[in-house]
């Protein structure tokens, strides 16, 4: 049991304002593996006041000095790589080998990258008789999700610190233990008191108090579109800056001349990554109608090879979902797909054989999906792929854009230039071309209901800066 009974405020671990706790559950065994405090609005106020006091000094610390801290945090996290991967594999369910690379590797890399990122920022520039300077936005409230918990924390905390902001973090109550590990590291490296603060708790209590607080200058939120709307509503009362990274229903457009084997097999992998609990997952596969049968067979083979099981079994390719609620939600979407007439290629709503304990869902593929079906429009957040056929390139682009979301996507074609032209027509924040890999230094964020603002690299750091003009 990892029992965390204190919050991290003003450079020390302190007693919370309530004796209430939140249980953390192992998603593959359904056993309680830890507890964290259920913070209160008073705890948020203490943390915000500490961050406000600390901002006066931290904001004028040199960029090079601030980066020394983010680099030291990266080093200390790196020394705990195995611990981070094991912890998040238990909290979230990602297979351990992938958790080492992604759940541990990405946040370490984000903190380490600040040394290079700050060199890409124009901290001052002269425009005629004006000196334009970039300054930290102030106190940042960071509200983060459970699917890539430490990665999403790092994507906010690292650039905010490098920019000169102070932070109050509310991690997801579903997977919060990794945030306390980060607090341990930050305490050990000696970050000045109040620069980083951690208040665990629920969204309706801690999240809303943070979004509403008049001394918070900016909210950076990652989560569902529904929760993002609520954060915006609450934050609007104080006119604070809000950055939102929300849901997705990303289309994988496979043109008729593409390498079908590679495009479909890679597409299935990118749909099922982290058991489909990825906001940028390629959950809609848009394919030529004349090759639908071939696509179904490749997708069936790949899905059935995605063996579900314990994250700590070397043969596992698909871990459990994060919670019972999430498992039940995904199964209900599978049932909805069948009810609305989609063709079930493989999988289904029944639990995988032999995995009655744990929050497991069969890897599922639907075909002959039409754009109006629920499984083609709503974010499922599970290992469920919808294959949609098209008859022309124009129709393929129209299907890809027929979504309230606009986070990610992909295009496959034999001609890379043709793929790029199609990619430019898709209204999303990023598009992979012929299997282009994720770039943690490129801007990440979406259009439409997928939110606004960008994370990662220099664009992510610029979100935490204000622009001031000095007329000389």
Residues labelled catalytic:
245, 279
* The pairing of beta strand 196-198 with beta strand 218-222: unpaired
With contact defined as beta carbons under 8 Å apart, do 148 and 107 qualify? no
Long-range interactions of 259-267: CB distance < 8 A, separation 24+: 259/412, 259/414, 260/291, 260/294, 260/295, 260/298, 261/298, 262/412, 262/435, 263/412, 263/435, 264/295, 264/298, 264/299, 264/302, 265/298, 265/302, 266/435, 267/299, 267/385, 267/410
With contact defined as beta carbons under 8 Å apart, do 466 and 135 qualify? yes
φ, ψ of residue 467 to 5 degrees: the values are -110, 130
Bridge partners (DSSP) of residue 296 are: none
265: Cβ contacts below 8 Å, ≥ 6 apart = 298, 302
Residue 461 region by backbone torsions, left for phi larger than 0, else alpha for psi between -120 and 50, else beta: alpha
Give dist(CA 207, CA 201) in Å, integer: 8
Three-state SS string over 154-206 comes to HHHHHHHHHHCCEEEEECCCCCCHHHHHHHHHHHHHCCCCCCEEECCCCHHHH
Residue 87's H or E segment, with its range, is helix 81-92
């Amino acid at each position: 049991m990892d029992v965390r009974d204190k919050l991290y405020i003003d450079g020390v671990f302190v007693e919370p304002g309530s004796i209430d706790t939140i249980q953390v559950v192992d998603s593959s065994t359904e056993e309680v593996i830890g507890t964290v405090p259920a913070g209160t609005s008073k705890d948020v106020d203490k943390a915000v006041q500490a961050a406000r006091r600390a901002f006066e000094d931290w904001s004028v610390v040199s960029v090079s000095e601030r980066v020394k801290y983010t680099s030291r945090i990266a080093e200390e996290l790196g020394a705990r790589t195995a611990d981070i991967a094991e912890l998040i594999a238990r909290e979230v369910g990602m297979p351990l080998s992938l958790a080492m690379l992604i759940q541990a590797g990405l946040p370490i890399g984000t903190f380490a990258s600040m040394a290079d990122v700050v060199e890409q920022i124009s901290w001052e520039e002269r425009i005629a008789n004006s000196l334009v300077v970039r300054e930290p936005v102030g106190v940042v409230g960071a509200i983060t999700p459970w699917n890539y918990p430490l990665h999403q924390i790092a994507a906010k905390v690292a650039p905010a610190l490098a920019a000169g902001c102070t932070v109050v973090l509310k991690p997801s109550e579903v997977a919060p233990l990794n945030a306390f590990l980060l607090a341990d590291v930050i305490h050990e490296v000696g970050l000045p008191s109040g620069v980083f603060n951690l208040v665990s708790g629920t969204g309706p209590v801690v999240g809303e108090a943070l979004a509403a607080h008049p001394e918070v200058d900016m909210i950076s939120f990652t989560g569902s579109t529904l929760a993002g709307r609520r954060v915006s509503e609450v934050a609007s009362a104080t006119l604070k800056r809000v950055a939102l990274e929300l849901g997705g229903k990303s289309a994988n457009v496979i043109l008729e001349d593409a390498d079908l084997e590679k495009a479909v097999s890679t597409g299935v992998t990118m749909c099922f990554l982290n058991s489909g609990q990825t906001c940028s997952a390629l959950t809609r596969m848009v394919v030529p109608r004349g090759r639908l049968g071939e696509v179904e067979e490749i997708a069936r083979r790949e899905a059935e090879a995605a063996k579900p099981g314990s994250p700590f079994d070397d043969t596992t390719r698909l871990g459990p979902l994060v919670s019972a609620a999430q498992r039940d939600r995904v199964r209900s979407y599978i049932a909805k797909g069948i009810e609305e007439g989609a063709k079930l290629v493989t999988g289904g709503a029944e639990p995988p054989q032999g995995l009655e304990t744990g929050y497991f869902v069969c890897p599922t593929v639907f075909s002959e999906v039409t754009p109006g079906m629920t499984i083609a429009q709503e974010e499922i957040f599970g290992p469920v792929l919808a294959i949609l056929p098209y008859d022309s390139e124009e129709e393929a682009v129209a299907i890809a854009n027929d979504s309230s979301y606009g986070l990610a996507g992909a295009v496959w074609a034999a001609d890379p230039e043709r793929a790029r032209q199609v990619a430019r027509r898709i209204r999303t924040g990023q598009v992979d071309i012929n299997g282009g890999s994720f770039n943690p230094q490129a801007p990440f964020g979406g259009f439409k209901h997928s939110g606004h603002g960008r994370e990662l690299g220099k664009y992510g750091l610029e979100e935490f800066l204000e622009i001031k003009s000095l007329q000389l």
